[in-house]
Amino acid sequence: MSTPTATTSPQASGSSRSRRRWWQRQEPPGKNESFVIGQSRAAPYLFSLPSILLVAAILGFPVLYGVWQSLFRRETLASDPEYVGFLNYTEMFSSDAFWHSLNRTAIFVFGSLVVGTTLGLFFAFALFRVVGKLRFLRAVTVAPYIISNVAAAVMFRILFNSQFGVLNEFLGWFGIDGPSWLANPDLAMVVVIFTQVWTDLPLTILLLLGGLMTIDKSYLDASLVDGATGWTRARHITIPLLAPQILISTVWLSYSTLTGLGVVLALTGGGPLKATQTMAMEMYTVAFRNLEFNQALAIATFILILNALLTLGYVAIGRRYEYEQ
Amino acid sequence: MTGIRNQDETFGEPTAQATTAVTGRPPEQARTVGGRVRNVFRNLLISIPLLGLVVWTLAPFLVTLSVSLKDRAEVFAEPSLIPSSPSFSAYGEVLASQSFTTSFLNSLIVGVGTTLLTIAIGVPAAYAFARFNFRGRHLLLLFTLLPRLVPSLGIMVPIYRLAVAVGALDSRLTLIVVYTGMLLPLAVWLMVGFFQQIPREIEEAANVDGANLWGRLRYIVAPLAAPSMIMIGVLAFREAWNEFTLVLVLTSTPGKRTLPYELYLMQGIEGIANFPGEAAFTLLTVLPFVLIYTRVEKYVVAGLISGSGK
């Protein structure tokens, strides 16, 4: 797929107002605006302090504490932590379990991206044609969002059950002997990917649909004059114009799969034969099964760094499409 | 702000121009015979992917519903989707079990507590960020990125260690405080947008009329911001109701867990898997939100779009 740079893409000249999207965070009002309506100077501090403190205590401090603690180690749970420098990291990078989980994570993230983006685009295109007409479809689209990861895992476990699952029943109609999905190391990953995508797809669809709605109709009309229809138009006009939304949903899916634990834990617990032992699962196992908390914090820090890189990409995408318009 | 506006745009009525662009031909053509045939064909082409969407989304629900209405032996003996003799005994079993009733109550308390605390702490902060120019306003920008930078997975281990250290395990209050801390950045950010949409002039006029800060908040800002507060509330409640990663490590004793944790344990505890029980438990977990879902759907959609930083 060719992704046009924003300068060559037609939307660069499109109306910037209507193309503003949620990720293009609005800047706070400038200083020239008059701010102080109230009489009290203390009011803003009193108002905002509880929030700032709580966020610092719940999100900020634990991360710093975790990174700091990843430089320590305890012989037993009761013993005092001992400073070991980067020992936890060097051991992590030389352990097979870590590289195995990195490999599993790569497959999990990449598989979810492919399945999620393909299905998201397919359903977004379908919904775009009936937009505003069928309220029922909107409710259906969003339904997976209101389900917990565990509930989704139970549902998919029933759906993919090898003995009574509807899917194997369905395959049986075509003479296919359905496999035992969750017992087979390769297929278990497929089930995990589909379950994860199922829970994440509502946002993907809405993002892409929102993108479709903002495409300037004149490009589509112009392409019609040139005789482009159907797949050709989607391939050469619509999908390139959707590039920002596709990129954003890609980054979001990566974030969600990289840091997602609930679906994997509830569906397979990392098995069978560690086939779905992603990095999130590995961190959980090291921490809460082996009770090696400091070692687990090294994995957690590694995940946080990967995630920070993703966030950078996300910000970069937002800026590029915001500023070049 | 963006959330609500986005949703209206996304699902707004299509313009005639849009229809033309989508179908690729002017509407008049539908009046000719050939056009009508093509219309039928096109409708078919449109409805098949939509049917796919409905099946994709609803199949897991329907399969679960089907299993929940059978008994344990029937699940294996009759794999058909429609049970021959549906019974609600699995539901009765779940509803009578201690694990469901206590965890349901816990989830309810934690959900309501998180919602109230998020609004109580987040709304004043958002008002301050939106209306006052004070040192510390730049923290708002940090708030937009924090939920993304710090997923719950990242704080799972440290927050467990910290909770152990201060003796805060197995407490609903801990869950409420932790969930609120995780939700606040997003909630504050969304509310700032809403407050900025309320015209400053209204408040200035009230100020001239002698209303003090409290009076303006009480009689002007609060009523105007009410819909957005509902949205934040729905967002917070959904998060607290479904959260699994942190409750998994912050609670350990029976009677303190919330629904997702209890459901997770149910899969392991039963020797021979009790599929109807699991299915019924799952649907009963989902049910309360589904019941209010139709009423709050637009808030859910808006929250979903704007809350994707979660």
Q: Quote the ipTM score.
A: 0.83
User: Coil, helix or strand for B23?
Assistant: helix
Residue B38 CA to residue B46 CA, distance in Å, equals 12
Q: What is the DSSP letter of A77?
A: S
Q: Contacts of residue A165 in chain B, CB cutoff 8 Å?
A: 63, 79
Instruction: Among A48, A143, A296, select the one facing B125 at the smallest CB separation.
Output: A48
Most confident of the following: A76-85, A226-235, A280-289, B42-51? A280-289
Instruction: Among B131, B136, B300, select the one facing A145 at the smallest CB separation.
Output: B300
CA angle B240, A152, B66 (to 5 degrees): 125
Q: Contacts of residue B106 in chain A, CB cutoff 8 Å?
A: none
Q: Which residues pair with A83 in a beta bridge?
A: A72
User: Coil, helix or strand for A83?
Assistant: strand
Contact B187, B229 (CB under 8 A): no
Q: Contacts of residue A202 in chain B, CB cutoff 8 Å?
A: 304
Does the distance separating the beta carbons of B178 and A58 come in below 8 Å? yes
Q: How high is the mean pLDDT of chain A?
A: 82
Q: What residue spans of B132-171 are helical by DSSP H?
A: 139-149, 152-166
Q: Report pLDDT digits (tens) over B234-274.
A: 889 989 999 999 999 999 888 899 999 999 988 765 555 78
Does the distance separating the beta carbons of B308 and A252 come in below 8 Å? yes
By percentage, how much of chain B surpasses pLDDT 70?
85
Segment (H or E) for B130: helix B98-131
Q: Contacts of residue A127 in chain B, CB cutoff 8 Å?
A: 50, 53
Question: Distance from B151 to chain A by nearest Cα, in Å?
Answer: 7
Residue A73 CA to residue A82 CA, distance in Å, equals 5
Burial A166-194 (b: 16+ CB within 10 A, else e): bbbeeeeeeeeebeebbebeebbbbbbbb
Q: Which residues contact A133 (CB under 8 A, 6 or more apart)?
A: B14
Q: Per-residue confidence at A161, pLDDT binned at 50, 70, 90?
A: confident
Q: What is the pLDDT of residue B156?
A: 93
Q: How many residues does chain B have?
A: 310
Q: What is the mean pLDDT of residues A70-81?
A: 84
Closest CA to B120 of A219, A92, A47, A33: A47
Q: Which residues contact A150 (CB under 8 A, 6 or more apart)?
A: A262, A266, B244, B260, B261, B263, B264
- Strand ranges, E, within chain A: 72-73, 82-83
Residue B237 CA to residue B231 CA, distance in Å, equals 10
Q: From B260, which residue of chain A is nearest by alpha-carbon distance?
A: A150
CB burial of residue B94 (10 Å; 0-12, 13-18, 19+): buried
Closest CA to A38 of B203, B301, B92, B199: B203
Question: Distance from A183 to chain B by nearest Cα, in Å?
Answer: 15
Residue B230 CA to residue B81 CA, distance in Å, equals 38
pLDDT above 60 (res B310): no
Does the distance separating the beta carbons of B3 and A207 come in below 8 Å? no
Residue A206 CA to residue A252 CA, distance in Å, equals 13
Does the distance separating the beta carbons of A62 and B259 come in below 8 Å? no
Q: What is the pLDDT of residue B307?
A: 55
Q: Which residues pair with A82 in a beta bridge?
A: A73
Greater confidence, A136 or A324?
Answer: A136
Closest CA to B132 of A55, A54, A56, A46: A46
Q: Contacts of residue A59 in chain B, CB cutoff 8 Å?
A: 146-147, 150, 155, 181-182, 185
Number of A–B residue contacts, CB under 8 Å: 340
Q: Which two tokens stand for residue B57?
A: 């989304």
Question: Position of tokens 């009410």?
Answer: B226
Q: Could you please report the per-residue DSSP string of B236-294?
A: HHHHHHH--HHHHHH--STTS--HHHHHHHHHHHSSS--HHHHHHHHHHHHHHHHHHHH
Q: What is the mean pLDDT of residues B119-136?
A: 87
Burial B193-224 (b: 16+ CB within 10 A, else e): bbbbebebeebeebbeeebebeebbeebbeeb
Contact B133, B251 (CB under 8 A): no
Greater confidence, B11 or B246?
Answer: B246
Question: Distance from A190 to chain B by nearest Cα, in Å?
Answer: 16
Segment (H or E) for B219: none
Q: From B42, which residue of chain A is nearest by alpha-carbon distance?
A: A129
Instruction: Among A26, A150, A164, select the one facing B264 at the smallest CB separation.
Output: A150
Q: Contacts of residue B238 in chain A, CB cutoff 8 Å?
A: 145-146
Contact A194, A200 (CB under 8 A): no
Instruction: Kindly report whether the global pTM for this prediction surpasses the value 0.90.
Output: no
Q: What is the pLDDT of residue B158?
A: 94
Q: Per-residue confidence at A8, pLDDT binned at 50, 70, 90?
A: very low
Question: Distance from A59 to chain B by nearest Cα, in Å?
Answer: 7
Does the distance separating the beta carbons of B203 and A158 come in below 8 Å? no
User: Coil, helix or strand for B60?
Assistant: helix
Q: What is the mean pLDDT of residues B164-193?
A: 92
Q: Which residues contact B17 (CB under 8 A, 6 or more apart)?
A: A217
Instruction: Among A52, A130, A166, select the one facing B139 at the smallest CB separation.
Output: A52
Does the distance separating the beta carbons of B50 and A131 come in below 8 Å? no
Q: Which two tokens stand for residue A72?
A: 């320590």
Q: Report pLDDT digits (tens) over A227-273.
A: 766 777 777 788 888 888 898 889 889 999 999 999 999 998 887 88
Greater confidence, A144 or A13?
Answer: A144
Residue B242 CA to residue B246 CA, distance in Å, equals 11
Residue B148 CA to residue A206 CA, distance in Å, equals 19
Separation in Å, CA A26 to CA A7, A30, A258, B192: 22, 11, 27, 10
Does the distance separating the beta carbons of A217 and B21 come in below 8 Å? yes
Does the distance separating the beta carbons of A54 and B121 come in below 8 Å? yes
The number of angstroms, rounded, from the C-alpha of A312 to the middle of its chain's C-alpha atoms is: 14
